[in-house]
């Protein structure tokens, strides 16, 4: 195998077409993947209990912490490098194998301590089995980096779909076989194993690793900064579960973490693949702050145009949504879901910042932002948890506005973006989502008592019509912008004609 060839000069129109195809493949496949995974997940949720999800969440704190060090930052360094040799690729493979082998051993040794902290002996057994996940990481990260350099998201899409189908089948089989919480342990292992095999084959990345790391200092330094930033992200995203796991019993921890799952579907499942494309695209702009800044504003506008109505809809339909998607045994999650939905737009915006900073060669800025968020959020969680699951949800609403404001103040000057430009990109979808959310909430109150699925079936289309009408009436430039990413030619022409 040879390193992917790089054109010395990439015309903007060509890059734009590459980005459009990449977004369509990455987002299109992600939608298919998520449809499969969500169908399996919501079926499994109806079989398993909140306590099962609480126990699983306890293991995810340790797994999440160590996964921040799994070497994906090294792969990002390979993506943004202008020239890559075969030896550098083999060195990256060797680094990934060593790092993840060490992480698997570390988790195995930490497992009894984690079980003692949570006072749940089964947690140690689960963590021991989950060590297998680290062994799949090198076979995912290496081909992912090679395919991303070439912006070949078609092959990535095929591998993601194959892995998700395998994971979904494993999850359903485990739940129906009565494996309980072990269903949640085995399904991801199957998913990552199949994905890794498919990616390695697609990228033709089967090769012997090199453990001679001479000349790989820049890659290691960049990866280290990325890893430190990811550690801060872990503190932000998992500290609440770590703190609550000590304070709540498995039932209430399961209520909280499943509420997070439901409200974070967009930011955790849809945004990351778009960020992958964004990082590769930013890196191709050769650190041109003006070009990266303009692309950042455009990307934020497009993503928030989809995210804001999604979150407003969750807040307005929380009760029928929870009862329909999760079942009546999850009714206690309704107020938690509603509160968290108000915080998710800020989390989404914060998530979009890091790829632009990293692609500009400023992972240290992402690290500073992450450290700030870790301090603010951990402090808020420690206070909020004293008031139970509702207090913990409210802590998001207290800490995240300040966190995002500080991050933007640091980042926008580096990208050459004026705050007014970013606000202008968000203003129309924000007001449209608010109008939609208030309207749907009022209609929901006026409806006669209906079964939850029927109420949801009435409210969701209503919300979609209201939001679309708002954009057409007050934000036609945004509608035309959205038309640029529509995959269907006739639909694109209709929207562009508005």
Label residue 150 by pLDDT band (50, 70, 90): confident
Give, rounded to a whole angstrom, the gap between the first and last alpha carbons of the chain. Answer: 48
Structure tokens at 137: 């990481």
Give strand ranges (E) for 254-368: none
pTM flag (> 0.75) = no
Average pLDDT, whole number, for the chain? 83
Rounded CA separation 305/433 (Å): 9
Residue of higher predicted confidence among 413 and 72: 413
Residues for the chain: how many in total? Answer: 498
The Cα diameter of the chain in Å comes to: 71
Alpha carbon distances (Å) from 152 to 116, 143, 290: 45, 11, 26
- 215 phi and psi angles, rounded to 5 deg: 85, 0
pLDDT for 8: 34
Query: 464 to each of 310, 480, 494, how far by Cα in Å?
Result: 10, 18, 18
Please say whether the beta carbons of 285 and 410 come within 8 A. Answer: no
The tokens 């990934």 sit on which residue?
A: 96
Query: Which run of H or of E encompasses 196?
Result: helix 182-202
Q: Are 235 and 376 in contact (CB under 8 A)?
A: no
Q: Does position 286 have pLDDT exceeding 60, yes or no?
A: no
What is the rounded distance in angstroms from the CA atom of residue 150 to the CA atom of residue 283? 12
Regarding predicted confidence, which is higher, 217 or 12? 217
For residues 80 and 451, the model is more confident at 451
From 163, 158, 162, select the one nearest 202 (Cα to Cα).
Answer: 158
- pLDDT at residue 209 greater than cutoff 70: yes
Q: Which residue has the higher pLDDT, 474 or 489?
A: 474
pLDDT at 267: 86
Q: Could you report the per-residue pLDDT of 352-402, keeping only the tens digit for each?
A: 888 887 777 776 787 788 889 889 999 999 999 999 999 999 999 999 999
| Residue 494: predicted pLDDT | 43
pLDDT at residue 246, rounded to an integer: 84
Instruction: Judge whether residue 284 has pLDDT over 70.
Output: no
| Region of poorest pLDDT, from 98-102, 270-274, 281-285 | 281-285
Assigned token pair, 371: 């450290």
* Residues of the chain above pLDDT 90, percent: 42
Q: What is the DSSP letter of 71?
A: S
Q: How confident is the model at residue 32 (pLDDT cuts 50, 70, 90)?
A: low
Tokens representing 441?
């909430």
**Phi then psi for 469, rounded to 5 degrees?**
-65, -40
């Amino acid at each position: 195998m040879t390193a992917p060839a790089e054109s010395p000069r990439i015309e903007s129109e060509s890059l734009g077409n590459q980005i459009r195809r990449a977004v369509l493949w990455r987002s299109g496949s992600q939608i298919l993947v998520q449809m499969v995974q969500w169908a399996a997940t919501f079926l499994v949720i109806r079989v398993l209990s909140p306590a099962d999800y609480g126990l699983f969440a306890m293991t995810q704190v340790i797994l999440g912490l160590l996964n921040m060090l799994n070497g994906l930052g090294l792969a990002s360094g390979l993506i943004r490098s202008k020239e890559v040799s075969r030896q550098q690729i083999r060195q990256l493979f060797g680094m990934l194998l060593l790092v993840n082998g060490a992480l698997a051993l570390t988790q195995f040794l930490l497992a009894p301590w984690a079980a003692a902290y949570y006072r749940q002996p089964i947690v140690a057994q689960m963590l021991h089995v989950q060590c297998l996940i680290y062994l799949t990481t090198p076979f995912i990260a290496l081909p992912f980096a090679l395919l991303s350099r070439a912006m070949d998201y078609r092959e990535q899409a095929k591998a993601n779909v194959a892995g998700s189908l395998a994971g979904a089948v494993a999850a359903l089989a485990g739940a129906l076989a009565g494996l309980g919480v072990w269903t949640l342990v085995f399904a991801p292992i199957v998913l990552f194993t199949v994905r890794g095999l498919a990616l390695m084959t697609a990228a033709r990345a089967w090769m012997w690793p090199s453990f001679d790391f001479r000349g790989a200092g820049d890659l290691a330094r960049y990866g280290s900064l990325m890893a430190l930033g990811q550690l801060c992200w872990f503190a932000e995203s998992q500290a609440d579960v770590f703190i609550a796991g000590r304070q709540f019993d498995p039932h209430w921890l399961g209520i909280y973490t499943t509420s997070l799952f439901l409200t974070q579907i967009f930011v955790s499942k849809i945004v990351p693949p778009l960020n992958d494309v964004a990082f590769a695209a930013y890196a191709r702009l050769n650190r041109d702050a003006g070009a990266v800044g303009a692309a950042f504003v455009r990307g934020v506008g497009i993503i928030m145009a989809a995210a804001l109505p999604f979150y407003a809809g969750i807040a307005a339909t929380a009760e029928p949504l929870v009862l329909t998607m999760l079942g009546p045994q999850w009714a206690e999650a309704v107020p938690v879901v509603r509160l968290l939905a108000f915080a998710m737009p800020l989390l989404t915006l914060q998530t979009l910042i890091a790829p632009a900073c990293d692609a500009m060669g400023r992972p240290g800025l992402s690290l500073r932002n992450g450290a700030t968020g870790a301090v603010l959020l951990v402090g808020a969680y420690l206070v909020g948890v004293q008031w139970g699951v509702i207090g913990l949800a409210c802590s998001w609403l207290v800490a995240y506005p300040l966190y995002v404001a500080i991050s933007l103040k640091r980042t926008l000057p580096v990208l050459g973006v004026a705050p007014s430009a970013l606000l202008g990109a968000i203003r129309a979808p924000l007001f449209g989502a608010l109008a939609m959310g208030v309207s749907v909430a009022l209609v929901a109150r006026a409806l006669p008592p209906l079964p939850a699925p029927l109420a949801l079936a009435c409210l969701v289309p209503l919300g979609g019509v209201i939001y679309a009408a708002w954009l057409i009436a007050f934000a036609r430039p945004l509608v035309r912008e959205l038309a640029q990413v529509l995959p269907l030619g006739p639909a694109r022409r209709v929207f562009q004609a508005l």
